[in-house]
Structures are given as C-alpha cells and as structure tokens.
Amino acid sequence: MSELAASHPHTAAPTWSGFIYQGHLALYHSIECLLNKMSFELQIDSIDDFAIIENGVAVSTHQVKALADNKRAAYKEALEKAASTSKLCDNTTQRYFHTSVRLDDAADFIGGNGHVVKFYTYDGLPYCHLQDVELKIKSKIENYLVSVGLPCSDFLIKLKFEALQSHIAAQVIYIHACNQDGLMTAAEAAFTQTLKSAKIVELLCLSATHEDDLVYKMFQARMAVCKSLYGYTNSMEKTADKTAIRKVAAVYDQIKELGDTPFTWLWKSLCLGSSTMIVSENSVYDYVDVIYEIDRAPLSEQKPPYYRCSAGDFYLPTAISADNARRESRFAEDLMEQLKSDPELIDILVEYQWLIAARANIFSPAERFCTATGASRDAVEEEFSLMGKDRNKITKAFDATIISREEAKVKLND
C-alpha cells in the first residue's frame, strides 16, 4: 500500500448497504448548516460516516447507526469509535451520533479519550425513524426556501429533494466504484471527493414549473442512472477483471460530471426507440454492457461517453435492442416518431454516425422504415423538412446506422 493510500481513513463505502439513510441524514444536516449561513464541504464516509469541513477542519463529525436495537449498550463500541475520530479535528469539533430508533439512554457519551459525543436531535428528538427521514429533509428544504425568499411548493420541494438525493447517491457510488483498483482507492476517494456547499445551494435553487418540466425529469433520470450503475458495479465485483472495472468506474466518473446538455443527450440515447423517457435498470445495464465489451475506454470531453475510430467516425454506446427483422422495423417506426416530436434527437444522430446497440444487426433505421412503410427516403425527408427541420441535418441524421456491440468491438479495436 502506498504512503498516500495509507494516509486516508478507512471507508465503509464498498459495503455501505445503508448508504441511502446515511446520505439522507447528511443532506438534512447540510441544509441545517446552510440555514446557519455556513460555507463548507460535505465529506462522505471517510473520517466518519459524514463530516462537515470548513477551511480544512472538521466542524462536526457524524456517525450513523440504523439498527433495531434500542439499548444504548449495543452501541458502546460505535460510540467509542465516534469519540476517537481525530483526523481533521481540533478542540472545537463537535461529534454527533445518529440513530434510527429511540434509545433507553440518549445522554452525552464521554469516550476514553475525554471527547464528548452528542446524540443528534431532530426537532428535539434524539433519533430519526427510517420512515420519517424523507419528510424531515423536505421540511428542512422548505425552511431553506422560505428563509432565502425562493418559491416554495410541494412540487418544488420534491424536485429539489430528488436532485439532492441523486447527487449524494452519485458521490457514494463513485467512491464504491473506485474501490476496485480503479481511479483511486475508496479511502482516498471518500477523503478527497467532497461535495461543496455551493453545489447544494445550486440544487436548492433549481427552478421548474411542473412534473413534465425537463429539469424535473432530468433529475429523475440522473437518479435512475445512478441507482442502476450502483447495482451494476456490485454485480461486477466477483466476476469482472480489474481492467474492466476500472473502465466502468472511469465512465461513471464521466457521467456524474456531465452538465445538463450532455447528460440530456446520454439520457435520450438510453431511450432511443422508446415511447417513454423513463430510464430503466435494464437499459442502463445494456448500455454499460456495450462499454464493458469494447476494450478501449470511451472518450467524454463533456459529451456522453463515445468512441472515435481511425477513420474519424463517431460511435455512441446505446441501450438499443433490435436483434431481428420484426424488432428492427418496430424500432425504426418508433424512432421516426421520436424524431418528429423531439428535434434534438436529430442533432444526436447528426453527431454520431454509428449507434452501438446492446443487441442488433447492422441496419439503417431510415432504410428499414422506408421498406416497412413503402415510402421513399426523399418523401420522408421532405415530410420532416416541411415540419421546419433543417434538410441537411435530416439527410445526415438519416444516414445514422445501428451496429452491434460485437461488430463495433472489431472496428474500434482495430
């Protein structure tokens, strides 16, 4: 182990099955810090389950236990561990202990080193039930919005809760992925990859008008991608080689850093040929399988992860599944309907000449559509042109071709 790796505290992220609850509590406390006008970094699962850092010093450390046992004696070892937390701490650091049940004794704990650990209180109660934490966070979000004079409604509170939740979850999953000898050790990732309070404020200031709003749907999509990638990385641990795991970890790092526009392109590429813009777990798994199978690591550059072959063509991994003539025809018809309702999809097809499918043969959706409907390509292009779409872009978009991951692997590894 390197000296650098040894200098970082152990992280439980690789086995953090309860990260959602811990992440929720970290959100709750972070918003409380914002209400107190603090500027800070949120460190997840490093020096403790989470910590609030200001100017390199731990303002507070937090240990979280979601156990069913209501006897304080069952938590003695964990309380002593919370008291022993010292990295980044000074004599002003507050140490807190969070429980999901009411204990028989919630008095302050004094560790063997003399450090005091306080039981964190929620509206005066020294515990927070698992089923209550979401409502408590939403109440805290409401308090923040009112305090800074931002619009506040049930819909906006839900939007901002989901945006914050997806961002916290993305961070934890990234730390998890790094554990497999990837970009860095999990301990290093947890210690160094903190979340700035400015980002939390940015998410709290999101604006949207209704549940069909693109901003709202985008954060639902980010959360879906996040959860599915977490499941995928868990399933890889015992079966995949370390090189493949490093590649997937790096791709996830690219995805979590995508801005809204490139993420929207990724999101839409996961739903090509679908009547819905809901990202499913299967579509994410199919998408990552494409990347897993191709030896080369994809490029990003604030774009959805993609490949470029020696001839200069761009290849976009997708979750497309159309592996027989009937599915190909259906996909082509659905894609044409999507192109009519969402012109941005035309831009995606213009940018990427090849769409790598999870399961498919090589085929042109435009040609398959024309064959199935009996329409000429010129007539179809003219129809799109009359709808106000750029004719040159339409022609180039219609040249896009589906290619199987097996065939793409040969072309890209050449």
What token pair was written down for 289?
A: 């399988």
Distances, alpha carbon 232 to alpha carbons 43, 243, 295, 306, 326, in Å: 24, 15, 18, 19, 29
Each residue of 342-388: pLDDT tens digit? 888 999 999 999 999 999 999 999 999 999 899 999 999 999 888 88
For residue 64 the two structure tokens come to 């979280």
Is the pLDDT assigned to residue 399 strictly greater than 70? Answer: yes
pLDDT, average across residues 181-201: 68
Helices first, then strands: H and E counts in the chain? 17, 13
Least confident piece of the model among 80-94, 164-178, 213-227: 164-178
- Structure confidence at residue 192 as a pLDDT band (50, 70, 90): low
H/E element holding 230?
Answer: helix 214-236
Quickly state the pLDDT bin for 209 (edges 50, 70, 90).
low
Best CA proximity match to 63, nearest among 20, 14, 97, 101: 97
CA distances from 168 to 23, 171, 263, 410 (A): 6, 5, 17, 38
189 vs 226: which has the higher pLDDT? 226
Kindly tell me if the per-residue pLDDT of 15 is higher than 80. Answer: no
